[in-house]
Structure formats: structure tokens, C-alpha cells
Chains A and B, each alone.
Chain A
Amino acid sequence: MDLRPSDEQLQLIDAFGALYAKESTAERVRAAEPLGFDDRLWTQLVELGALSMAVDEDHGGWGASLLDLELVAEEHGRALGPAPLLESQVACRLLARIEGAAAADLLAAALTADRLVTVSPRTAASGTLALVPAGAVATDVIVRDGDRLVALPLDGTRTVPVTVGSQPLADVPVDRSSLASATVLADGAGAEVLDRALDDWLVLTAGALAGMAERAVRIGVDYAAEREAFDQKIGAFQAVGHRLADVATASAGATLLAREAAWADGEEPARRAELAAMAFSFAAETARDATAVALHVHGGYGFMLEYDIQLYYRRSRGWTNVLMSPAAAARRVADRRYGPKGAT
């Protein structure tokens, strides 16, 4: 057992941590609202290798492990990075798993940032691709259509709703003809490929939410250690300290579990998918609770937009629910352990 990241990983954390400290300050995060996209941060992330690290040498990248990506995702969550990092990395990894020229061409364009590719966790069965993550800033979205995977250019109409988490989401109308004329990436096994991508996404989002929770706890603790009421620091009241202790404990667990799930991608394939759903479910609940507790500890100030903790509270909801609820992820854990419903 070794729970310490390697020296190379620590360097990676430092490099991205320094970038976020400079380019994803609370001011910049606020300035990027309500769209939730900071072009300069995004450009610098790509320049630092955030996308090329996601795919192996054969596909023009440098083949970082999912654990490496997860460690970066923690930094992303800590800083509430207003950039489609996870969506793009997931898309690149998905494209790299598919044979054929269409996928290779789109991947090459994504890696050079000529295109910004995202993935839809939902289908267009209703005639709309609802709340496509990064859909407001992406040029292409990968969609499952039956058992096919297609890439839809996002050059037509799209609606960008204002959302609680200030994310660059979009509702995209999609009819049969646009699906029929879209670039086919995979003609068969689309569901499996998308499901695999969703596992990556769950792990990386778990890492981001764990980082977010950890920072939110720290913000709450710092406030409680400074603010006085009834002639003492409020952090000395057990009613305050104990709630922070609970979320600090969950935050430690969420980080360990997100890292374990990412590590399992290369090292324990039999548990990979189960751990991905576990990590997401637990990190989502943890970020949900940690941001709520840290906000509440601020009293009335927590309710004011001026204090940063509300930025964390809102994104914990947004980053989670655009994918799935913690309860849905718990059912996904059961699917992985026992087989899907109907298979028992």
C-alpha cells in the first residue's frame, strides 16, 4: 500500500495547482459567470498539456494515467476552474478508444484545440439534447444514437440556459435528419463505449468534487477560527466544530476513494467500473454536505454573494447533477456488483 502520489505526480499537482492559483482566482471565477467559461484559463490549460496528457503516444498525447488526470481534477475542483477540462478529457479518451479515420480526425483537431469536443451523457430521444455539459462553448458533441456513436457539430441553434452552477451548458435541438447526416464515429457498441466514457467522467468528477469539498471545509474552518460570538471563536462551539469535523472526515474519505477508483483503472480492472460509481456517489454527497455546512457556518455572510463559499455551494450541485444524482450512482454501483436489473 502506498497512499502518496509519486514524485512525478506531485510535480504534476504543483504545476496545475500553480496555474489554477494564478488563472482561476475567485475573482476570475466570478468574472466568468454566468457562462462559467474563462478563455484564458482554458488556453493555458491546453498549453500545459491538459488534453494531450489524456491520450497515449499513439494518438499524439503523452499517455498519463487516469490517476494522473484525477489528481489534476482535484486541483480543478479546488479552484472551481471555469473551463471544460473534464468534458474535453473524457471526449479525447473516448475518441482514442475508437478505431477509424472519423474518430482520429476529430481527436487530432481536439488536441490542437481547433475543435472543442464534448460528450452528451443523455440521448436526443426527446428531440433535444438537454443540458449538454460544455455545450455552450464546444464545437462538437458526441452523442449515442441507438447503438451508434455520432459527432454532431454545434454550429446550429442552441440555447444556453442560466443555471445554478454557472456552467456552460446548452440545450441542443436534434432531429432525425441531423442524426442521420452526422459523422459516424462507431457503428455498433456505442452504448458500451459511452458507458466506459461515463466511468472516466464519474471518476474525474469525483476527484473534482473531492477537491471542491476539501477547499470548502477549509474555508469554513478558517472562518470559524476567526469569527467571534458570545465572547469566543465560534469554532470552539461544538455545534459548529462537530459539523465541520463530520464533513472533514467525509472529505478525506472522498479523496481516498476517488484516487482508488482512478488507480483501479490501470491496476484493478475487475473493480474499475464499480469503484467509479462509488467514488462519484460519495464525492457528490460529500461536496453537497461540505459546501452546505461551510456556508451555514458563515451565518448571514454565507448568504451574501460577496463571500466565496456560495460559489462552491452552487457548483457542487451543478457539477453533480448534470451527470447523475448520488442515489442514481449508488444504483449504478449495484448494477456493477450484481449485474443490471433483470440479469439476477
Chain B
Amino acid sequence: MDFRLGESSETRRAEVREFLDAHMSLALEERVYRTGVSHDEDFTRALVERGWMAPSWPVEFGGQGLDPEEMVAVGEELRLADAPMYGIGTTMMVATVVLAVGTDEQKAEIIPKALAGDIVIVLGFSEPEAGSDVAAATTRAVPDGDEWVINGQKMFTTNAQIGDYVFLLTRTNAGVAKHKGLTMFLVPLRQPGVEIQAVFTLSGERTNIVYYNDVRVADAWRIGDVDGGWHAMTVALTNEHAAGFAAAIDRLLRAAESWARTTTDDDGVPRLEDGTVREALGRTAIDLEVSRLLQRRVAWMAATDQAIVAEGPMSKLFSSEALSARAQDMVEVVGPDALRSYFDPTAPAHGVIEHMLRFSLGTTIYAGTSEIHRNMIAQRGLGLPRNR
């Protein structure tokens, strides 16, 4: 057995760190927070120049052919730095789906622009009445000649206000089982009938409600078969389910360690000397290690072509729940000063602990709630009967 990432992964890690030293700053981190937009043109430009828009893609498709272990190292560093990657993440996730199930014309139109950082693609899955049960979507797409007419409403379309396309989940057949009547489209966002309404969230991230009123889209923008949208969704969600929040726990731990080393109690003793503080730091370090291992296991299985069953959900479930629990612990351990907010000039460790408390709440909800992941683990991993 070998628990180290390969040597090449550590090389990639060093390269990413060097890149971040040059292109990431506290000012940029603050701007991302204040605007709520995890996307930055200069940063994206630099990433494109470095050839890192799709590092895992094969070289012939414009990637760098990095293996899953190398991608673990790259992802850990980018997330640890809280680099503005969200817009790039959704764009490349959809580009990956286009590469897998799109037509030649779609690939020719989308892939080069995505790789060049010229377009932002956002996700239109959730609806007011369909969150975790995303296949219950009711946004309608009705054929009209070689076009489709779309009516409905989507929730949590982050970056819609700067987006070029939305990867939209629509209902094209209401007379069959819910998974079998869905169709995916890549809909240009800047057109009549698309109305974007800002929604502000606890972590500071801005997201949106998007209304679609008689929005017309050419059939050429359909991704996958008519009524075959669930397949394209599965391709997209498989990537999401392999997620984990080890890097966020790492951010929390580093901030807490910095606070404990630099703050003293009323007697002038460093807080790092306090048994309660030490126990909370120890537990956070343990949860970080476990989160890392569960996440790396998924990468290792992917790299060795093993079927990933419950391992992805385990990584997402454990790390998001651990992040929430440890952020709460840390706020209690730090005491009143933990109330000082992220980027408030008076906050310890520039308020990362306070931010992680708020940020953690979303992690157990988006990309499948903890309950959805527990269902997957119980049914697919443990073989328990389906629940009702």
C-alpha cells in the first residue's frame, strides 16, 4: 500500500502553488467575497494561459492529461486558496458533458470557447418545487418547428448574471415516469424572455432565480436525446458526487491554528496551551485526514478503473458534515471574537472561522443533500431496500 500521492502529483501541487502565489491575493479573495461572485476575468485569463482550464482532459482535446491523483493535488490547492473557480467549474463540467454526448457542431462551438475562458456556462437544474428530487423538474420545453419554446423557473443558477449559456433541465414529456421525460438544452442566456433575479446566500455567494418566458432555443442546442436528458444529467452529477470538502476543513484548521498561536488569554498564556482548544484542533485535524482519505480513495478508484459505488457519496457526506461540526466547535472554542465577520478588520485570522461556519451550511445541501447521499450509501453501498 502507498498513501502518498504520486511524485508527479506533488510536482503539480508545487506548480499550482507557484501559480497561486502570482495570481491569488487577499484582495482578490476579499473581492470574491464582497461581490459574491466566484469568477474573475484576470484569474481566468491567467489559468487559460497556463493551460489549466481542463487539466484532466486529454492533450488532443486541449487538456494536459493529468491523472486523477494529479487532479487531487491540483484541486486541493485551488480550493485551499479559495481561488475564484466556481464559474470555471460549472463551465468545464458542462463542456465535459458536451464532449461526452454532444454533436460535432456543439463541440466545435463550445469546447474551444470554454477552453479559452471566453464563455461562462451555468447550471439550471433546481426549481422551487424540485431540489433534491431534481428529476421532478417542471420547466417545460415544447417543440415548435426546429425550435423549442421554454417556460418555467429555475433556482440557484449561480453566475447567471455573467453567464453566456445555461445548461437547462426541462420537461418534454409529462406522460411517462419522471426520469424518462427530461431533455437538456444549452440555452443562450442573453435573449428576450430570460429574466434574472439575484438571490443572496449565507456564505456571501450570490446566486439567482431565473425565469424563462417563451424563450426560444434551436434544436441544435439540445444536448443528448429528446427525453434522454437524465443520461446527460448523470454524466454531470457523477462528477459532482465525487466532491469533498477536505480543503475547506484545511482552511478552517489553519485559521484556528493561527488564532491559537497568536492570541493569549487574560493571563498572557497562548490559547494553544488550553486543553479545550487543543482537543478541538486535534479533532479538526483528524476529520481533515479522514476527509482527505475518503476523497483520495475515490480518485484512486477512478485511476484504477474500479467501479465507484458509495465511495463518492461517502466523501461528500463525511467531509461536509465534518466541516459543519468542526466549524461550530471552533466558533465556541474561540469565543466572542469568533463573532467578528470574514474580512472585518477586527476579526481573528481575517474571519475565516466565522465564514466557514456560514459556508459549511451550504455544503451539506448543494450537490445532493446529506440525506440524498445517505440514501445512496444505504441502498447502493449497504444493499438496504429502497426507501419510500
**Cβ-defined contact, B387 with A250, below 8 A:** no
**Cβ-defined contact, B278 with A338, below 8 A:** yes
Stretch at the interface among A88-96, A117-125, A193-201, A324-332: A324-332
**Cβ-defined contact, A278 with B1, below 8 A:** no
* Cα separation A5 to B378 with both chains bound (whole Å): 26
**Cβ-defined contact, A244 with B384, below 8 A:** yes
Q: Mark A219-252, 1 if CB is under 8 A from B, else 0.
A: 0010011000000110111100110111011101
Which one of A1, A5, A329 has the highest number of Cβ atoms from chain B below 10 Å of its Cβ? A1
* Cα separation A17 to B278 with both chains bound (whole Å): 38
Instruction: List the B side residues contacting A249 at CB < 8 Å.
Output: 294, 314, 317-318, 377
Interface residues of B in 336-388 (CB under 8 A from A): 371, 373-375, 377-379, 381-388
Q: Mark A311-342, 1 if CB is under 8 A from B, else 0.
A: 00000000000000001011111110110011
What is the chain A residue whose CB lies nearest that of B281? A334
Instruction: List the B side residues contacting A342 at CB < 8 Å.
Output: 273
**Cβ-defined contact, A257 with B278, below 8 A:** no
Among A252, A260, A331, the residue within 8 A (CB) of B279 is A331
What is the chain A residue whose CB lies nearest that of B277? A334
Q: Mark B310-342, 1 if CB is under 8 A from A, else 0.
A: 110010011000000000000000000000000
**Cβ-defined contact, A263 with B2, below 8 A:** yes
Instruction: List the B side residues contacting A250 at CB < 8 Å.
Output: 318
Q: Mark A251-271, 1 if CB is under 8 A from B, else 0.
A: 011101101100110011000
Which one of B2, B381, B382, B388 has the highest number of Cβ atoms from chain A below 10 Å of its Cβ? B382
Whether A101 is near chain B, meaning CB under 8 Å from some CB there, is no
Per the CB 8 Å criterion, the residue count for chain A at the interface is 56
What is the chain B residue whose CB lies nearest that of A329? B282
Among A253, A274, A333, A334, the residue within 8 A (CB) of B294 is A253
What is the chain A residue whose CB lies nearest that of B385? A236
Among B3, B282, B371, B387, the residue within 8 A (CB) of A330 is B282
Stretch at the interface among B19-27, B111-119, B125-133, B285-293: B285-293
* Cα separation A275 to B297 with both chains bound (whole Å): 18
With contacts A244-B378, A248-B377 taken as known, whether A2 is within 8 angstroms of B1 at the C-beta atoms is yes
Among B318, B374, B382, B388, the residue within 8 A (CB) of A253 is B318
With contacts A236-B387, A275-B289 taken as known, whether A1 is within 8 angstroms of B3 at the C-beta atoms is yes
Min Cβ gap B133→A in Å is: 14
**Cβ-defined contact, A344 with B381, below 8 A:** no
**Cβ-defined contact, B3 with A237, below 8 A:** no
Instruction: List the B side residues contacting A225 at CB < 8 Å.
Output: 383-385
Interface residues of A in 259-305 (CB under 8 A from B): 259-260, 263-264, 267-268, 274-275, 277-278, 281-282
**Cβ-defined contact, B374 with A333, below 8 A:** no
**Cβ-defined contact, A235 with B300, below 8 A:** no
Interface residues of B in 19-65 (CB under 8 A from A): none
Min Cβ gap A67→B in Å is: 7
Instruction: List the B side residues contacting A40 at CB < 8 Å.
Output: none
Among A237, A263, A264, A275, the residue within 8 A (CB) of B387 is A237
**Cβ-defined contact, B285 with A333, below 8 A:** yes
**Cβ-defined contact, A256 with B297, below 8 A:** yes
Classify chain B: how many residues form its interface, as a range.
Answer: 35 or more
Q: Mark A180-198, 1 if CB is under 8 A from B, else 0.
A: 0000000000000000000
* Cα separation A335 to B375 with both chains bound (whole Å): 38
* Cα separation A51 to B283 with both chains bound (whole Å): 33
What is the chain A residue whose CB lies nearest that of B270? A344
**Cβ-defined contact, B3 with A260, below 8 A:** yes
Among B279, B289, B303, the residue within 8 A (CB) of A257 is B289
Which one of A2, A5, A249 has the highest number of Cβ atoms from chain B below 10 Å of its Cβ? A249
Instruction: List the A side residues contacting B384 at CB < 8 Å.
Output: 221, 224-225, 233, 235-236, 241, 244
Which one of A217, A221, A241 has the highest number of Cβ atoms from chain B below 10 Å of its Cβ? A241
Instruction: List the A side residues contacting B281 at CB < 8 Å.
Output: 333-334, 337-338
With contacts A333-B285, A342-B273 taken as known, whether A1 is within 8 angstroms of B6 at the C-beta atoms is yes
Whether A6 is near chain B, meaning CB under 8 Å from some CB there, is yes
Min Cβ gap B110→A in Å is: 33
What is the chain B residue whose CB lies nearest that of A333? B282
Instruction: List the B side residues contacting A330 at CB < 8 Å.
Output: 278-279, 282-283, 286
Instruction: List the B side residues contacting A332 at CB < 8 Å.
Output: 282
With contacts A2-B2, A250-B318 taken as known, whether A238 is within 8 angstroms of B294 at the C-beta atoms is no
Instruction: List the B side residues contacting A4 at CB < 8 Å.
Output: 1
* Cα separation A223 to B381 with both chains bound (whole Å): 16
Whether B175 is near chain A, meaning CB under 8 Å from some CB there, is no
Min Cβ gap B274→A in Å is: 9
Interface residues of B in 244-268 (CB under 8 A from A): 257, 261
Among B1, B261, B379, the residue within 8 A (CB) of A3 is B1
**Cβ-defined contact, B293 with A260, below 8 A:** yes
* Cα separation A278 to B311 with both chains bound (whole Å): 21
Whether B76 is near chain A, meaning CB under 8 Å from some CB there, is no
* Cα separation A333 to B257 with both chains bound (whole Å): 13
* Cα separation A278 to B379 with both chains bound (whole Å): 30
* Cα separation A149 to B373 with both chains bound (whole Å): 51
**Cβ-defined contact, B1 with A263, below 8 A:** yes
* Cα separation A329 to B278 with both chains bound (whole Å): 11
Kindly list 4 other residue pairs between chains A and B, CB separation below 8 angstroms, not including A221-B382, A238-B378, A331-B275. A225-B383, A232-B388, A242-B371, A344-B272
A-B contact pairs, 7 of them (CB 8 A): A67-B1, A235-B384, A241-B374, A252-B294, A253-B318, A263-B2, A278-B285
- The 5 A-B residue pairs with the shortest CB-CB distance, nearest first, are A330-B282, A334-B278, A333-B282, A241-B378, A235-B384
